[in-house]
Amino acid sequence: MAALRGALRLTRPVAQAVHKTSTGLVGLKVDLNGRANLIAMQQQLLEAVKAIPETAAYRQSVEATATYRLKVATEETDEEAIEKTIGFGQLEELIEQGKDEMELIDYYAGEKGWEMAADLAWQADVDADIKQDVDRDDKEQADAAAKESA
């Protein structure tokens, strides 16, 4: 019994150091090293996204987000303050988001998504030009019909 009391005394400081015991989200366990793991994840994202050209909007977005989150997590030591400042959920959720982003970076780089995005932008420009031409032609035809009937 005395050994049990001693063990309980040793765990009390550990229990007090842990601020939360549950994320409140099914299937998402508390990360006891949440801040450190968030920092590591953001650093991994910044490294992985280098596989995408600097001019790609996706890379710029990932870099901006990861840099901001990394800055907040390195400057602030209180995990609740980090979560509040970033404003996108708990550290555990942010880490999961980072894992998902890593998969997307791999896919985007493998498929050269920046080329597809450029093609889509080009197609949108072409579509806008065509619509403008059709609208102009419709107006010219309407004006001509109005002149004939007058």
pLDDT tens-digit series, residues 26-66: 887 888 899 999 999 999 999 999 999 999 999 999 999 99
Q: How many domains does the chain have?
A: 2
Identity of residue 116: M
- pLDDT tens by residue, 62-115: 999 999 999 999 999 999 999 999 999 999 999 999 999 999 999 999 999 888
36 shares its domain with 106: yes
Is residue 21 assigned to a domain?
Answer: no
Quote the CA–CA distance of 6 and 2 in Å, as a whole number: 6
143 shares its domain with 80: no
Quote the CA–CA distance of 25 and 115 in Å, as a whole number: 38
85 shares its domain with 97: yes
Is residue 60 assigned to a domain?
Answer: yes
Q: Which domain holds residue 125?
A: 115-150
143 shares its domain with 103: no
Q: Is 70 within 8 Å of 39 (Cβ atoms)?
A: yes
Is residue 7 assigned to a domain?
Answer: no
Is residue 64 assigned to a domain?
Answer: yes
Question: Residue 40: which residues within 8 A CB-CB, separation 6 or more?
Answer: none
